[in-house]
Chain A
Amino acid sequence: MKVLVTVKEVAEVEDDFEIEGTEIGPQYLNYDLNEWDDYAVEEGVQVGENVDDAEVVAVTIGPERSEETIRMALAKGADRAVRVWDEALEDVDLLDVGAKVRLLEAVVEEEDPDLVLSGVQAGDDAFGATGVALADAIDFEWAAVVNHLGLDVDEGVAHVHRELEGGVDEVTDVETPAVLTIQTGINEPRYASLRGIRQAQSKEIAPKDLSDLGLSAEDIESDLRLTDMYEPETESDATYFEGGPEETAGQLADLLRDTGVAE
């Protein structure tokens, strides 16, 4: 049993920031493991703990900087990692879903996993489409937005809940091999232990460039081009309470009394 978990290092933006062209100024960005992927890693590690002879492999598309993030996945229990990067990727400002799928498809061909877990979406570009498009490309079954997973390895079935809108779960049986996109809240992601962090130092992160994967620069050509980035217009017509905490709290308390919420 092999579980492949796709992870992405994403930038979180500080409250105050400036836009330079079609990018946010690098000084306003803090890099971290994508929130959804943290849950996908945990789910993969739990599958690994519950199934005999399971191997959990983390794969990322990212520059050398992202090794720090992928090592976090290793510290939490993934057995080894693959990092896809190439000089040709450095100039791409928006890697579209198709290009990501072609890269991951090549990794899947090499790794031959039984289960692929990805986060529902990435916190930066938020396409939310790579997992399902990948499933179609590698002819795996799939389920999007999974918030519960019960894996029956012998039967080859993943019993999943898909989190629909309005507080309703769809209960679905998915044949494996499958790609599942993992929703936040499915589990409680562990913190890396000191021992885990130490062990992660000696785990393999295999670098792969385009030629390693049998791909060429053509395969990462994106059909989408980012042409503008701007701060959304704020439409706030709120009445702001001004002053120190005591003053603002006092004004809000008056409002709540006036509207009959409080006495």
Chain B
Amino acid sequence: MTDVLAVAEHRRGDLRDVSFEVITAGRELADEAGGDLHLAVVGGDVDGFAERLNREGVDRIHTVDEGEEFNHDVYAQALTQLCDEVDAGYVLTPNSVNGLDYAPAVSNALGLPIVTDVIELDAGGDGLVATREMYGSKVETTTELDADRAVITVRGAEWPPTEGSGDAEVSAFDADIDESAVRSTVTGFQEAGGGDVDISEADVLVSVGRGIEEEENIGLVRDLANALDATLSASRPIVDNDWLPKNRQVGQSGKVVTPDVYIAIGISGAVQHVAGMKGSDTIVAINTDPNAPIFDLADYGIVDDLFDVMPALIEEFE
């Protein structure tokens, strides 16, 4: 019998969707391991959060009333203590930017192995088997854990959110925070990007990715966008290279877009990109690699060299 301690996530006063996904993943894992599902919420309006997190399948909610916003030192200390207190075998956190800012520290502090960015979990057999991707989503792997306890971070949108209301017992956990070990301070937030264009408002997006190879080739995609009276957007590598500004970035760390038509040019469709555009009505993909994950999502596809297809396409509209 192994208990699971899942951890909720919030930012600037709001619970993030992943909180309800870790409840689902946590309940499944707890069922397979024959234990209870504990849920921790640290900082912010913990009582209000606890009320909203009280969903089906959660056995106990632990509130840690420390600070307003996320601080990894506070999270790491509180969760390490809480895990000991409730004697949880598995600590389950979102594989978010903040999750990756405290989960590895918790694993080190507890002397537990960590397995991150998990897309499937199976604790029904002898031990724990985690499915994860490697080589930029080119392959999936199963990893077996030679330990009966672990810290696990789960990828967003792989488990559905738990909806039904629950009857968990809510209690405050009085964590003993060593303030001298809190050596970082969040001083604020900044919206990245901004500027003249809001790609999330566009009806038609022509989006360019790594396949464009060189900065001077961006003009080719710009020409198509102009010909279609569409808005130009991009995947992360293009923005990292400063070939287009940050306000053009589609994806997890950029904008979420839902245009009528999304034309992905030389974009492989990494999970972080897909998170930002999967809600598009019609998706068209042009890519040389027939196995590119973007085709799993696309309604229409062309498997060919974009440098051959693009000039022909632009000519169609001239």
Asked if B284 is an interface residue, CB under 8 A from chain A, the answer is: yes
- Complex alpha-carbon distance, A236 and B296, angstroms: 4
Q: In the bound complex, what is the Cα–Cα distance between A185 and B289 (angstroms)?
A: 25
Cβ of A120 to closest chain B Cβ, rounded Å: 8
Could you tell me if A162 and B105 are in contact, using CB atoms closer than 8 angstroms? no
**Which residues of B lie under 8 Å from residue A220 when comparing CB positions?**
none
Asked if B15 is an interface residue, CB under 8 A from chain A, the answer is no
| A142 → chain B closest CB, angstroms | 7
**Closest chain A CB from B193 CB (angstroms):** 5
Give the contact stretch, choosing among B29-37, B38-46, B140-148, B165-173: B140-148
**Cα–Cα distance between A127 and B150 once the two chains are bound (Å):** 14
Which residues does B use to contact A, with CB under 8 Å? 11, 70, 72-73, 76, 95-98, 100-105, 107-109, 113-117, 129, 132-147, 150, 153, 183-193, 204, 227-230, 236-237, 239-242, 246, 249, 252-256, 260-261, 282, 284-285, 288-289, 291, 293, 295-296, 298-305, 308-313, 315-317
List A contacts of B140 (CB < 8 A): 229-232
Contact B302 A171 (CB under 8 A): no
* Choice from B108, B256, B282 contacting A133 with Cβ under 8 Å: B108
Partner of B191, one of A13, A123, A128, A168: A168
Query: Could you tell me if B249 and A167 are in contact, using CB atoms closer than 8 angstroms?
Result: yes
A136 to chain B, nearest CB (A): 4
Contact of A248 with B by CB under 8 A = yes
Residue of A at shortest CB range from B275? A165
From known contacts A24-B135, A128-B116, A227-B144, infer whether A163 and B253 are also in contact, taking CB-CB under 8 Å: yes
Q: Report Cα–Cα, A94/B144, bound state, in Å.
A: 11
A235-B296, A261-B261 known; A252 and B104 CB under 8 Å? no
Return chain A residues, CB-CB under 8 Å to B284: 252, 255
B residues less than 8 Å from A227 (CB atoms): 129, 142-144
Most buried by A among B70, B135, B241: B135
Listed A/B pairs (30) with beta-carbon separation below 8 Å: A13-B135, A13-B136, A16-B291, A97-B104, A98-B108, A129-B104, A131-B104, A141-B73, A145-B100, A145-B101, A165-B252, A166-B252, A166-B256, A167-B192, A172-B184, A173-B185, A184-B236, A184-B240, A225-B146, A229-B139, A229-B140, A231-B291, A232-B140, A234-B296, A241-B301, A244-B308, A248-B304, A249-B309, A249-B315, A255-B300
Asked if B108 contacts A249 (CB within 8 A), the reply is no
Chain B: minimal CB distance from A228 (Å): 4
Measured between C-beta atoms, what is the minimum distance from B170 to chain A in Å?
Answer: 27
A106 CB contacts on chain B under 8 angstroms? none
Q: Is A161 in the interface zone, CB < 8 Å from B? A: yes
A261 to B280, CA, bound (A): 14
- Please tell me if the beta carbons of A174 and B97 are within 8 angstroms of each other in the complex: no
Q: How far is the CA of A248 from the CA of B242 in the complex (A)?
A: 31
Q: How far is the CA of A224 from the CA of B114 in the complex (A)?
A: 9
Indicate which residue in B114, B187, B282, B298 contacts A173 across the interface (CB closer than 8 Å): B187
Instruction: Looking at the assembled complex, report how far the CB atom of B150 sits from the nearest CB atom of chain A, in whole angstroms.
Output: 8
Bound form: Cα–Cα A124–B139 in Å: 10
Q: How far is the CA of A250 from the CA of B316 in the complex (A)?
A: 7
Q: Give A99 Cβ to nearest chain B Cβ, in Å.
A: 10
